[in-house]
Amino acid sequence: MKAEEQYVSNSLFTGGFNSVTRAHLMDKVIDSAVSHPQMAGAKGSACAMPGCDGRAMTDERGNDIHPCECRFKICRDCYLDALKDTGNCPGCKEPYRVAGDYDDDGDFDHNRWLFETQGTYGYGNAFWPKVTQHDDGGDRGMLGDGMPETSDKPWKPLTRRTPLPAAIISPYRLLMLVRFVTLFFFLAWRIKHPNDDAPWLWGMSVVCEVWFAFSWILDQAPKLHPVNRTTDLQVLKEKFETPAPANPTGRSDLPGVDFFVSTADPEKEPPLVTANTILSILAVQYPVEKVSCYISDDGGALLTFEAMAEAASFANMWVPFCRKHDIEPRNPETYFSLKGDPTKNKRRSDFVKDRRKVKREYDEFKVRINGLPDSIRRRSDAFNAREEMKMLKHIREKATWMADGTHWPGTWAVAATDHARGDHAGILQVMLKPPSSEPLYGLPEEEQMVDFSDVDIRLPMLVYVSREKRPGYDHNKKAGAMNALVRASAIMSNGPFILNLDCDHYVFNSAAVRHGMCFMMDRGGEDVCYIQFPQRFEGIDPSDRYANHNTVFFDGNMRALDGLQGPVYVGTGCLFRRFALYGFDPPSITDYLLPKRFGNSAALSESISIAEFQGRPLADHPAVKYGRPPGALVVPRPPLDPATVADAVSVISCWYEDKTEWGDRVGWIYGSVTEDVVTGYRMHNRGWHSVYCITKRDAFRGSAPINLTDRLHQVLRWATGSVEIFFSRNNALLATRKLKFLQRIAYLNVGIYPFTSVFLLTYCFLPALSLFSGQFIVQTLDVIFLIYLLIITLTIIGLAILEVRWSGVGLEEWWRNEQFWLISGTSAHLYAVVQGLLKVMAGIEISFTLTSKSAGEDNDDIFADLYIVKWTSLMIPPITIMMVNLIAIAFGFARTIYSEVPQWSKLMGGVFFSFWVLAHLYPFAKGLMGRRGKTPTIVFVWSGLIAITLSLLWISISPPKPTAGSVAGGGGFQFP
């Protein structure tokens, strides 16, 4: 079916907004070859009450249900009104039966239906059993020691935390101590033994070495207590999904999870990639009724909207297929691209047939997604031409139209007033309605393409959100978009836990949420603010030239922080406790009763205590001080009603955050391009702990820039955010006492590390200056100096080997990380310091953009982007370092060879350190060469200019001395 035909206008919602701001709720009917009762606006009969435009009540399969024997069709609201007013059916005027079972032909159990639709699950304006707390912090229905009254089984932990083996960690700590002591004596010796022949060279080197020692301590100290953690999913199932006295039915007692996916520009973030991420979320191994997915489109693009609707339609087949055959990974693009035998470990005989059908449907799905830009353009051109004909004049504003013939309320392809990227209405569309509480099985193969008769075909709720944007408001980029999702989701689903993903990061392990929930639901889990999963990337070149995998950080530094107060938040793949995001301290009896500035939404305010209660672990162990009784979350949740959705629309308006604490204390924190680090820091600063969860099968995977320039710009953005943090109140030096000492050092290092670039750049020039001047950083190569240097080098190697052992990082990965540390330190980090200082001190914001690009030559090569050379000013310092050191090596050799008294020791010292610099810059040099060594002309131009400038500068500073022969009549010059 064509994309243009997929959307039929049903209603346009406005209301509750002033004249300045106006928000729209589109309720579109998504019609596809595979129908599903959860699809937004699914076909159904209209309510027969006069003046009502609602839809008649339906069962879980979307069929009409009739509360009266006369089969009068009525919507839920009118039915409840009739019960309240007269108790009679508006059709036959006879009393409704209020108890008993009805026939199977469209009727239902009245009491059960009322219970489910009036529900008690997780909405801000819904009922939830109040928790009466005793003075000891325990809940009613629990014994004084925190154990449930019905506990008759031995307690089992959900997680295990184990320090690293003493055979590894003890030598590791010993080497750290040896290196620390050696550095102290080395620096003391260097200060006491200046080089009188070149005091400027000695002074610069000592200052740099002191800073390097300081930065090494900041980086190494938090690594004293690395730990390993494991989870037990079987115990999780036994505790929360197995029949028990408190849960006789065995219905899931796990808390709800809201997934957040953010995107901003469909041109830079392809809708197909985002759609695959959404599909992987909808297919996660977690109770369907406990999962909700929210997609934030901060660009307000119709292309993204229609792509998500296509994804919701394809999910009807993809999600049941994954459940039926236990598919991994559940990203269709990745799954169908896997090499190897797809039938491995597949037991069902119909797998091959089902896979073939689903693959064919996915290929058609991709064609529809890729064809959406042209489809939307042609549709809009046709509607605009029609409007011009009606008005008999040329219309200046070219609107973007939806398939139902109405204007898209978001951003138009040609920007116009109220329809630009920074000026458009808020949009909220429920694309997949909340699922029923009971399993819904599919139809046999005779009635649909794939036999899902024994598969639960329910889908999680899917909501498209584009917050309102207006000129004059600071929308705070991604952090503002995430906070809008927090508010909207609190009203619509109020999952006590939030898992956020970038649009190019998908669920690689469908059980990842269960692993994270083990930590949240275990003893001590009430003090955990978030679970950070490592970032894993696909599409990286085999040699990982620019350390894109960043395994030293994710498998080393983060694992070490897990032994302290917890890892930092890195922006994606993180499972948050909603209550912690609201800016509260770790749980206590009265914390959540304190007044907070959340805005004027009553539904949002009411949802806070509900989310806090639902996020508690089970009170099944004395160590759990603030737990909840078993079975508290087994009740179903009600369907969405217009009032609830209207409340959700109101909280995504651009004015909602005025005079509130959003972005300051509540939600994602504003004021930095690295809002992720600041948000995590604020939680740790309030006393929360975080956990690092490494699973055997990667939890999430995503994409990373493999091109040199794109990688440098990525690092530039991170480093600029760190400089902003250092000059803000989020500096770890200003932290509260709740932040542990080593955790404070780790956060201090986050803000300081970019400043190392100033000293690193200077130190990279010192070998060249030594070769040019004929001097060295020490006056003579003293034995003591060499011994200290040897010990420092050996401890570096020893620490690296031990880190490789306990972190699992390969030696090649470690070396690539060292190389890119110098590359980024002499380019992106240096520019970040300049950029950050200009912004903080002068309010000047500058950006380093790309100026030229040479296209890749091989479109079939998946690593073709690796060889693309995009010129940027970030490349100037590393190029300068390489050229200066190469010229200095040649100059040093020439001067030493032709010198009357050659000083080979000083030459070797300078040459050794120059080669040390050049070896680290080797990947950078390869990046400039492109494919087959074709270096762009601009590189030669810059190299020539730098070489000529340095040569002239040196001649002017230290001109060659004429010999006696030259004075007498033209003998020549000698090197100084």
Query: Which residues does the annotation mark as catalytic?
Result: 298, 676
CB 767 within 8 A of CB 917: yes
Cα within 13 Å of Cα(360), Cβ side? 7
For residue 461, what are its two tokens? 């709720």
CB 625 within 8 A of CB 586: no
Which residues, 6 or more positions from 585, have their beta carbon under 8 angstroms from its beta carbon?
591, 686, 687, 688
Assess whether the previous peptide bond of 586 is cis (omega < 30° from 0). no
Is 326 known to sit in a ligand binding site?
no
What phi and psi, each to the nearest 5 degrees, are found at residue 555?
Answer: -100, -10
β partners of residue 229 = 161
Cα separation of 538 and 558, whole Å?
20
Q: From 391, 413, 389, select the one nearest 401 (Cα to Cα).
A: 413
Q: How would DSSP label each residue in 894-952?
A: HHHHHSSS--HHHHHHHHHHHHHHHHHTHHHHHHHH-GGG---HHHHHHHHHHHHHHHH
Virtual CA dihedral for 303, 308, 309, 314, nearest 10 degrees?
130
Is 268 known to sit in a ligand binding site?
yes
Cα separation of 539 and 542, whole Å?
9
What three-state secondary structure class fits 3? helix
What phi and psi, each to the nearest 5 degrees, are found at residue 579?
Answer: -60, -35
Cα separation of 569 and 531, whole Å?
9
Is 961 known to sit in a ligand binding site?
no
CB 66 within 8 A of CB 58: no
> With 0-12 CB in 10 A as exposed, 13-18 as middle and 19+ as buried, what is 183?
buried
Cα within 13 Å of Cα(492), Cβ side? 33
Which residues, 6 or more positions from 694, have their beta carbon under 8 angstroms from its beta carbon?
229, 533, 534, 555, 559
Is 298 known to sit in a ligand binding site?
yes
Q: How would DSSP label each residue in 820-871?
A: HHHHHHTTHHHHHHHHHHIIIII---------EEE--S-TT-TTGGGG-EEE
Cα separation of 320 and 450, whole Å?
9
What three-state secondary structure class fits 301? strand
Residue type, 859: N
Which contacts (CB < 8 Å, 24+ apart) does range 556-560 have? 556/223, 556/226, 556/803, 556/807, 556/809, 557/219, 557/222, 557/223, 558/532, 558/534, 558/692, 559/226, 559/227, 559/228, 559/692, 559/694, 559/807, 560/222, 560/223, 560/224, 560/225, 560/226
What phi and psi, each to the nearest 5 degrees, are found at residue 283?
Answer: -105, 15
Is 502 known to sit in a ligand binding site?
yes
For residue 621, how many other CB atoms are within 10 A of its CB? 20
Q: CA 80, 81, 82 angle in degrees (round to 5)? A: 90
Is 339 known to sit in a ligand binding site?
no
Q: Where do we find the tokens 């309605």?
A: 433
For residue 312, what are its two tokens? 């919701």
Is 269 known to sit in a ligand binding site?
yes
Q: Which residues are annotated as a binding site for UDP-alpha-D-glucose?
A: 262, 268-269, 298, 477
Q: Which residues are annotated as a binding site for Mn(2+)?
A: 478, 502
Q: Which residues are annotated as a binding site?
A: 262, 268-269, 298, 477-478, 502
